[in-house]
Amino acid sequence: MKKVAVILSGSGVFDGAEIHESVLTLLALERAGVKYSCFAPDINQLHVVNHLTGEVDESDTRNVLVEAARIARGDIQNVAELNADEFDALMLPGGFGAAKNLCTFAVHGKDSEVNEDVLAACKAFADAGKPAAYACIAPAIIPAVYPQGVKLTIGTDASTAEALNAMGASHVDSSVDGVVYDETYKVFSTPAYMLAANITEAAASIDNIVSKLVAAID
């Protein structure tokens, strides 16, 4: 059975993993007959956002791994323990946590740095020539993983695309359910909620990228 590692970034669109994208990813993988395992870094979130008001709660701190365990129903491991040799492919759903906890893109833009354990895991798949997929804002991690000129998409946001190009990527505009594939590096990306207006559009995006990811597994 094919196996895919899924890296989550917390729980909640504004400070962690986008819950719809994450659940849709796990559902699409299971429907494709793929076994998945979830991982997340054992670090504190950049901050905690009250998802009812949209305001940062300065009095609260939360752990990315503990919060991501909510989505994984407790079946999750520290990303530092992710062994690429045990999997056929990698998938990263979006949510602001991808740009706040997995890397610093939300704060530092083109000068973003990726969490060292996340970077090591992603590079292990890249170095092994195994396919990987990044959704929503998670493609902000791609320029740190792959060589200059790697093709990716976050949709059509000009300022975000400009920052990614400045990081060494080659951004390609895409529709909400489009998937950009860099054949050289076997990396897929799709806009999902960077463009999706509702869960149906997000599902189309996630279904497409998961389908292409699974098909790319040797």
Q: Which residues are catalytic?
A: 136
> What is the phi/psi pair of residue 170, to 5°?
-120, 100
**SS3 label, residue 216:** helix
Q: Is the dihedral angle over the CA atoms 71, 192, 105, 183 positive or is it negative?
A: positive
CA-wise closest residue to 76 among 116, 142, 22, 132: 22
Coil, strand or helix at 79: helix
| Whole-number Å distance between alpha carbons of 14 and 55 | 10
Helix, strand or coil for residue 197?
coil
Contact 200, 179 (CB under 8 A): no
Q: Return the DSSP state at 196.
A: -
